[in-house]
Structure 1
Amino acid sequence: MKKIFFVLSLLFLCLTLLASCSTKQAEEKAKVTLYYASLGNDKIIGEEREINLKKGESLPKKALEELIKGPSKPELRNNIPAETKILDLDIKDKIATVNFSKEFSQFPGIMAESFAIISVVNTLTEFPEIEKVHILVDGKELLAPSGMPYGLLKRYDLASINNSIIMNKTTITLYFSDDGANYLVPEYREVVKDKPLEQIIVEELIKGPQQPGHYKTIPPETKLLSIKVENGTAVVNFSKELKTKHWGGSTGEAFTIFSIVNSLTELPEIKKVEFLIEGKKEETLAGHMIFSEPFTRNENMIKK
C-alpha cells in the first residue's frame, strides 16, 4: 500500500512539473518601447519594458495594452484616457488599423490629444511590420481639431517635436498667499502654451503653489468652467465649489479674489476680471466684498 501511495505521489509530482514547464513554454518574454509624455508635457520619451507574451498573442496589441496602462516611471505621464479599450487591431500591408473605444477621444486639450496620438503611432511603428497607423474610435475615423480625419499616420520625428515644444513654452506669474497671510507673493511657473494663457493661469492657480512658504488661495475642489476675454475684461466662470468650499473670512476672501485678478492682469490684454459662479453673478463670495462687479489689479496686496 505504501509503495502504491509513493508511486502515485511521484506521478502527481511529475504531472505538476510538466504542467509548469508547459505553461512556461507557452509564454515568452519580449521587450517593447512605449512612448509617453514627460510629467511637464514638454517632451515625448520612450520607456523600454519587458512583457510576458502568451502563445498566439499579438505583440503589437500587447504593447498597445501596456501603453494604455501607463508608465512605470514617475517622471512620465500617460495622455491616453485610462478607460480606453482596444476594440480591434488589424495589421495589413504594413498599416496598423487600431479601433479604440469612445473614451480614447475624451481629451482635456489639444496638447493631450497630440501626445496621445504620437504615443500610439510611435509605439506601434517600433515593429518592422508596421509603417503607418490608422486610428479609429468606435469604428469611425478619429477627427483632428480641424474637423478633418487624421488619416494614415507615419512615425513622428521626436527630436523635432521635442524641440518645437520647448520653443512653445513660456513663463507665467501666479500670486499665492505668503505664510502669514499678509501679502500675495509671486511664483513663476514655466508652462507649455497648449491652451489660451488665461486658462492656463487659472488652472495653475487651482493646482496650488509649488514653492515652500506659499499657500493656496482657491479651494482645490474648484473647477474652471470657462474663461473669455472681451474688451480687456476676463470673464471667469467657476464651479460652485469656489463659494461652497471657501474657508471664509475677509482676508481669505480678498486673497482668493486678488490672487486671480493679479495673476490674470499680468497679461497685457487683461485690465479687469469679472467673476461668475455656475454662469451667474453672485453678490458676494464669502460675505465681505461685493463680488458682482469687475475687479482691477491691486498692487498694494503684493509683497514688495
Structure 2
Amino acid sequence: MKKFRMFRVFFLLFAVLFALSGCTGKTTVEQSGNAYTIYYLNTSGIQLVGSEYRTETTDLDALVRELLDKMGNVPADLDCQRALPERIEKITYRIEGNVLYLYADANYALMNSVQEILCRAALTKTLTQIPDIEYLSIYCAEQPITDAAGNPVGMLSASDFVDSIRDVNSFERTELTLYFANEAGDQLVEEKREVMQNSNTSLERLIVEQLIEGPQELGHYATIPSDVKLLNVSVNDSVCSINLDAAFLNSTLDVAAYIPIYSIVDSLAELSTVSRVQIRINGSQDDVFRDQIPLSTVFERNYDYIVGGKND
C-alpha cells in the first residue's frame, strides 16, 4: 500500500497563463504529455466541472498521487472550488488488478449527502482515466462508504455517473437490465447494471447510452458501436422512439443483424413505460438495417433472442 499526504501544488514557471472569467473546462497551462480531465466543483458547489491537465508521468503510483494532488489544489486562474474537502487530511491507496482502493480518513464522513456524491463522482471520473484503472472503491476510516440508505456503494466506474451531475438532490442509484451479445454474436445475454441517474435524464435515454457504452461483464460483447450518437429519445403511448446517427448503420461488429436491434428493443422493454420501439436514423425510418431489417417496423420485445428467455 502506498501512502501519501496531499501537498500544495506549485505552478510551472515556464507556463503561459491566460485570464479566464470563470470555469471553462480547460486549464490555462500549456503542457506536453498525456491529457487528463481533473474534476472540480463550480462556484455554487452543485455541479462538476472538468479542467484539462497534461503530464509526462506514466508510473502508475506516481500518477495516482499526482492526479489526487491536482484535485486538492484548484489552479488560481479557475473560478472553481475543490471537490475534495480540505478537512480530509490523508488519503492512502492500493491497487489490485484494475481496481484502485482509496482510503480516506474519518473526516470523509463529515460531508453531507450532496457533497459526498459530488466528491465520489469527481474522484471516480478523474482517477479511472488512468490506464489500467477501471474501477474505484472508496473507504472511510477503513470501512466501505455507504449510500443514504446505509448500503455499501461498492465498485464505481466512470459510466456510473451520467451527464454532468446537476441538481444533485435528485441524483440516485438506479438498476438497469441491459442485453448484450454472447460470444457467438447470435444471442443476447442479460447484464444487470447500477448507475447514478439524474432525474433530468430519462431512463429510456439512460438505457441506450449505457448500451453504447458497452458491456462490463466477461463473456458479454458490444451490440452498438461506441461512436454512435443518440440524437433524441421520446415516449408516446408506450412506444419509445429513438433517433440515432448514421454510425449505427455502419456497424462492423461481428454480430447477427437482429442482435443490435433487439439489444435496444429488449433492454427498453424492461421498462414498464415501453412496449414497442421505433428506431430512426437522423430522423428517418426509410433505412434498412444491414439490408435485412426495415426500420419502418415498430419493434416488439422478442424473448427468442435472449439466452434462457421465453415468450409470455
> Are 2:185 and 1:170 aligned?
no
What percentage of aligned pairs have identical amino acids?
A: 28
How far apart are the structure 1 equivalents of 2:210 and 2:25?
Answer: 30
Deviations 1:152-189 (A, max 9, x none): xxxxx843215567551111111001112232001111
Query: 2:6 & 2:282 partners in 1: Cα distance?
Result: 42
**Residues 209 and 125 of structure 1: is their aligned pair in 2 closer, same or farther, counting only changes over 3 Å?**
closer
- Cα distance change of structure 1 residues 126 and 183 upon mapping to structure 2, 3 Å threshold: closer
Residue 191 of structure 2 is matched in structure 1 by: 187
Moved more, 203-212 or 234-243: 203-212
Determine if contact 2:39/2:83 at 8 Å carries over to the other structure: no
The 3 A distance-change label for structure 1 pair 65 and 276 is closer
Q: 1:287 to 1:78 in 2, by over 3 A?
A: same
Task: Please give the alpha-carbon distance, in whole angstroms, between the structure 2 residues aligned to 1:47 and 1:186.
Answer: 42
Q: 1:216 to 1:158 in 2, by over 3 A?
A: same
Equivalent position SS for 1:227? strand
Backbone CA RMSD of aligned residues: 4.2
Equivalenced residues, count: 190
Q: Deviations over 1:75-131 (max 9, x none)?
A: x96457xxxxxxxxxxxxxxx99xxxxxxxxxxxxxxx81229x864339989xxxx
Normalized per residue, the structure richer in helix is: 1
2:48 aligned residue (115, 133, 145): 115
Q: Structure 1's 282 and 79: CA in aligned 2 closer, same or farther, altered over 3 A? A: farther
| TM-score, normalising length: structure 2 | 0.51
Instruction: Provide the residue aligned with 2:153 in structure 1.
Output: none
Q: Give 1:159's aligned residue.
A: 112
Moved over 6 A (4+): 64-67, 124-127
TM-superposed deviation, 1:267: 1.0
Q: Could you tell me how far 1:245 is from its partner in structure 2?
A: 3.2
Whether the aligned pair in 2 keeps the contact of 1:217 and 1:252 (CA below 8 Å) is no
1:254 aligns with 2:187: no
Distance in 2 between the 1:295 and 1:65 partners? Answer: 43
Q: Which amino acid aligns with 2:220?
A: H
Q: What secondary structure sits across from 1:123 in the alignment?
A: coil
What does 1:217-228 align with in structure 2 at a 5 Å threshold? 217-228=223-234
TM-score between the two structures when normalised by the length of structure 1: 0.52
CA gap of 1:124–1:289, structure 2 versus 1, over 3 A, is closer
Gaps of 5+ in 1: 1-45, 71-75, 81-95, 98-112, 128-156
Q: What secondary structure is seen at the aligned counterpart in 2 of 1:252? A: coil
2:269 and 2:28 map into 1 onto residues whose CA distance is 40
Distance (whole Å) between structure 1 residues aligned to residue 304 and residue 83 of structure 2: 56
Separation in 1, partners of 2:25, 2:231: 33
Aligned partner (choices 197, 202, 220) of residue 203 of structure 2: 197
SS in 2 for 1:51: coil
Q: Give yes or no for the alignment of 1:213 onto 2:219.
A: yes
